[in-house]
Structure 1
Amino acid sequence: MTMTASPALDSAIAKARTRLLPFLILMYVLAFIDRANVGFAKNVLQADTGLSDAAFAFGAGIFFVGYALFEVPSNLLMYRFGARVWMSRIMVTWGIVSACTAFVDSATSFYVLRTLLGIAEAGFFPGIILFLSNWFPAKTRSQTMGMFYFGFPLALLLGSPISGLLLDAGNPFGMHPWQWLFVVEGLAASVVGVVAYFYLTDRPVQARWLDAEQRDALDHALRQEDRQKLAHGPASVLAALRDSRVLFCGLIYFAVQMSVYGVVFYLPTRIAGLTSGHVGVEVGLLSAIPWIAAIVGTFCVTRYADRHGHHRIWAAAMLALAAFGIAASAMTSSVALAIAAFCLAAIGFVCVQPLFWTLPTGYLGGAAAAGGIALINSIGNLGGFVAPNLKGLAERVTGSSQAGMFSLAVVGLIGALLLLSFRFTRAAHSVSHRKGPLGERTGH
């Protein structure tokens, strides 16, 4: 997809990045904090509620079942109603549900609230990917997604010490510290969700903060790309859901998410086990180190890949690096070496994601993009359900505390091999250009 150089287009892209990306990163930070803070609250939550390790693992993972089931419908509703309305709805409802986790008192209530949290948040991430593809042309999309993905390590860089501080906060308003953790971080998401309704703009032609020439240049470039995508990729939602490349992308993303959540859920408790045994400010600060490394690594690797190409090869290399770091983290009793291993894992599984998403968004357009991106993400995020349960199963079967992390590392290596084995840029089969609300880009 080639585009004629245009000062108006370049200035529109720069202005859109400056206005939209910081707010989208803030949304992503809050989403990930509310998804992963259960890992910080694990020990005290279990102590106060009597949850077993198996019940915690099941509850931590069941989030992704509701998330996956409602992913595609949610993203299609966002395509119908626009990001401003739908992203606001998602954030407000998930914030309220996350805050209600403070009232967990049994395994059943924990399962119910984690399931509802997944349903409430469904469509958030694929909605963001779709939103970015509606704003940024292909020539800048990988860099833009790389910048957006800074929100991932930032969430854990900021969320780790904040969560640790809240857990050390005594008993505010008569609540246990872990209850305060869920209330504060959940309601923060709801507040930002309300702001999103007034701040976001669905498409370039609606942006009053762009001048007329910038709006026209950016809209023209994006419409031109969509026409080419529909000529070489699935032309409707149903075609996208059946497309072999979409399904293969989902399988690869499943392996990626297995690596991600195998670390995210257990990093704080692993470091705590090597230090004081208490998840508080000290562990929060130590847990933040891998995410600093991930920010630096993502900045360098995505820029290099954009400059020299071979995004698929780089994505495979980063997933293999994540697998190596995960395995190495289980083989040492040294805090310093464990943190170094987690740094490699974090660099790998954060870098692989923006590199990966440039592949399916390169040929999915219009409503097919809404459905296809959501399906890939929903399949992939089931890895978040499987990861803690696979880890626990491997440890129970072998009787080794290392076996769980080794099993997740193997899944990461399989994902890297799948990336190397499949060519996303192969010539697409011919598709029919059916017109209608599920088969073409809607008017603005």
Structure 2
Amino acid sequence: MSEVVVPDAERRAVGKFLRRMLPILVLMLLINQMDRTNVGFVQDELRADVGVSATAYGLGAGLFFIGYALFEVPSNMYLERFGARVWLTRIMITWGAVIVAMCFIQNVTMFYALRFLLGVAEAGFFPGVLLYFTQWLPDSSRGRASAIFLGGSATAYIVTGPITGALLELHGLGGIAGWRWMFALEGVFSIVVGFVAGFFLVSRIQDARWLTQEEKDALGAAVARDEEARSRAPRVSRLKLLVHPQVALLTTVFFAMALTGYAITFWLPSLVEEIGGLSPFQVGLLSAVPWICAVIAMYTVSHFTDGAPDRRPYLAVALVLSATGTFLATLGSPWFGLAAITLAAVGGKCAATLFWPMAQSGLDLKIAAPGLAVVNSLGNLGGFVSPTLFGYLKDTTGSTNGGLYTLSAASLLAVCGVALIRRTRATAAPLPEAAPVPHRSTNSP
């Protein structure tokens, strides 16, 4: 097959987009990930100052995902209507306002309401950016842009701890608790970046002043060709997809992965605090260690498995590592527990890296896009179940061990699901055609 020749004007236009748009989008994603998970560092403070028990904390942490799931599709529809410049900046400014409001939490009900509203405010940001890429970049260039953008998500796990820990050191300044300072300053920063993004983002190719007319025409034509090809693909009902065997298996595996990923995200700081004698900044630094190791492992694994004909064995090994780590975290000293959680984080991140390419190749082309949307939507509900379950078990048993055992068992069950997933794309079981459904992109824990 001959190599596709990309016109010089199109190549220049893509390069300009990557240099001008991606940095602000990556920064927005980094702040997005930080603001949704910073609550994990103030669990003890919320219990002491507001009366948020472990059960209430877990439920509040998980309510974010309910709001996010309910409003993700409507948010993407509004993005198409109003354009990325307006809608993505709206998303960021409103989630920043909710984060600022969290510094005024006085009771459990306010905590629940604001966590739910944070999910509503953030809904559609991640898939909205990926949708924005489809409006600006041809298929041949979108993979590179998505990889760079996803790097911001990986980086967020590393920087959230040190930054949040440093802000918690402001405790007592002006007679204000450190956790209130943390929410206020991170929220204000989100709002400021949101307004700045409004000056940088451009919704339509033809509105970009930094492209020549030749570059606009070449890039617009390439995007239009890809859009026409996608529009010819048949659409299927998500209701029918729910009972499709491969979609059900993938959803089950991803749900188990989400359980572990979000449990570690929201409960890691409290596990680190059990070491004792650490300042908030030191807790933040140590909380970054598992994610540093996980990101290194993630990129290493992706490098060695990109050409693998079958990713299932590698995914199974990653899930076993995750299960082993969460089980070992119930044994030994807190320092040993940190090492075990690091192993679980490595397994979880590597599993996420392996899962989506495998899922894409395991579904028939006719159902790939809507099928992956269903997997993402239902699987991410693990972000609600996991912290809620952890909080309940901690309040009823006085320990997080029950939650860690549950995560270990879920990962091992997911290994069984991986063994049943079809190896490569083949003709899927036929599905009755239905009315078109909105396109949604995938995300991972």
Common fold, TM-score beyond 0.5?
yes
Retained in 2: the 8 A contact 1:291–1:346? yes
Q: 2:3 & 2:174 partners in 1: Cα distance? A: 58
Q: Which amino acid aligns with 1:5?
A: V
Q: Which residue of 2 aligns with 1:289?
A: 289
Amino acid at match of 1:161: P
1:110 positional shift? 0.9
Farther off after superposition, 410-419 or 111-120: 410-419
Q: Distance in 2 between matches of 1:206 and 1:309?
A: 43
Q: Is the contact between residue 57 and residue 391 of structure 2 (CA under 8 Å) also seen in structure 1?
A: no
Matches within 5 A, 1:264-303: 264-276=265-277, 278=278, 280-303=280-303
**One-letter amino acid matched to 1:104:** I
Q: How much has 1:373 moved relative to structure 2?
A: 6.5
Distance of 2:371 and 2:191 partners within structure 1: 28
Q: Which amino acid aligns with 1:112?
A: A
What's the counterpart of residue 387 of structure 2?
A: 388
Structure 1, residues 310-335: CA drift from partner, whole Å, max 9, x if none? Answer: 56665555444333333333333151
Instruction: Tell me by how many angstroms 1:42 deviates.
Output: 0.7
> Counterpart of 1:442?
none
Following superposition, the deviation at residue 297 of structure 1 comes to 2.5
> Normalised by the size of structure 2, how large is the TM-score?
0.83
Distance apart, 1:230 and its partner CA:
4.3
Change (3 A) 1:135 1:194: same
SS at the partner of 2:4?
coil
Contact 1:297–1:347 (Cα < 8 Å) also in 2: yes
**Counterpart residue number, 2:330:** 330
Question: Within the alignment, does 1:162 sit opposite 2:127 as a pair?
Answer: no
Cα distance change on mapping 1:118 and 1:275 into 2, 3 Å: same
- Match of 2:425, SS? coil
2:21 partner amino acid:
L
The residue matched to 2:380 in structure 1 has which SS?
Answer: helix
Does the CA contact (< 8 Å) of 1:240 and 1:246 recur in 2? no
Q: Which range moved further: 239-248 or 181-190?
A: 239-248
Between Structure 1 and Structure 2, how many residues are aligned?
430
Q: 1:113 to 1:158 in 2, by over 3 A?
A: same
Query: SS state of the match for residue 150, structure 1?
Result: helix
Alpha-carbon offset, residue 380 of structure 1: 2.7
Q: Partner residue of 2:401?
A: 402
Instruction: Mark the CA change 1:325 to 1:3 in structure 2 (over 3 Å): closer, same or farther.
Output: farther
Distance change in 2, residues 1:106/1:194 (3 Å): same
1:353-387 C-alpha deviation (Å, 9 max, x unpaired): 4554456778999xx96x77665443233211100
Q: Partner of 2:43 in structure 1?
A: 42
Structure 1 residues 399, 190: CA separation in 2 closer, same or farther (over 3 Å shift)? closer
Counterpart CA distance in 2 for 1:318 and 1:134 is: 35
How far apart, CA to CA, are the structure 2 residues paired with 1:355 and 1:266? 24
Instruction: Specify the alignment match of 1:66 in structure 2.
Output: 67
Secondary structure of the corresponding residue to residue 120 of structure 2: helix
Q: Which moved further from structure 2: 355-364 or 41-50?
A: 355-364
CA distance in 1, matches of 2:411, 2:149: 23
> 2:237 is paired with a residue of what secondary structure?
helix
Identity %: 38
1:340: how far off?
A: 3.3
Q: Does the CA-based 8 Å contact 1:126-1:373 persist in structure 2?
A: no
Opposite residue 32 of structure 1, the aligned amino acid is Q
Distance 1:196 1:361 in 2: 32
Q: How does 1:346-361 map to 2 (within 5 A)?
A: 346-353=345-352, 355-358=354-357
Q: Are the structure 2 counterparts of residues 275 and 400 from structure 1 closer, same or farther at C-alpha, using a change threshold of 3 Å? A: closer
Q: Which residue of structure 1 aligns with residue 410 of structure 2?
A: 411
Q: Which residue of 1 aligns with 2:237?
A: 239
Contact map agreement 1:40 1:279 (CA 8 A) in 2: no
For 2:437 and 2:96, locate their aligned partners in 1 and report how far apart those are by CA, in whole Å.
31
Report the RMSD for the aligned CA atoms in angstroms: 3.5
Counterparts in 2 of 1:46 and 1:303: CA distance versus 1, 3 Å? same
Structure 1 residue 71, shift from structure 2 partner: 1.5
Report the Cα distance in structure 2 between the residues aligned to 1:167 and 1:270, rounded to whole angstroms: 17
- What displacement does 1:148 show? 2.2
Unaligned runs of 5+ in 2: 440-445
- What residue in structure 2 maps to residue 78 of structure 1? 79
Which letter maps to 2:402? A
User: Aligned residue for 1:118?
Assistant: 119
Distance 1:136 1:311 in 2: 28
In structure 2, what is the Cα distance between the partners aligned to 1:262 and 1:93? 26
Distance 2:156 2:107 in 1: 28
Superposition deviation, residue 187 in structure 1: 1.6
Question: Is the 8 Å Cα contact of residues 162 and 281 (structure 2) preserved in structure 1?
Answer: yes
Asked if 2 retains the 8 angstrom alpha-carbon contact of 1:149 and 1:354, the reply is: no
Residues 19-43 of structure 1 show CA distances to partners (whole Å, capped at 9, x for unaligned) of: 3332222111111111111110111
Partner Cα separation in structure 1 for residue 83 and residue 49 of structure 2: 42
Letter in 1 for 2:425: T
Deviations 1:225-248, CA, capped at 9 Å, x for gaps: 44444445x43xx73564346666
Give the letter aligned to residue 97 of structure 2.
I
Q: What amino acid does structure 1 have at the position aligned with 2:346?
A: I
Residue equivalent to 1:192 = 193
How far apart, in 2, do the equivalents of 1:364 and 1:207 lie?
37
Unaligned runs of 5+ in 1: 440-444
**Worse-matched range after superposition: 388-397 or 402-411:** 388-397
2:345 partner SS: helix
Contact 1:145 / 1:354 at 8 angstroms: preserved in 2? no
Per-residue deviation, 1:180: 0.6
1:83 deviation in Å? 2.0
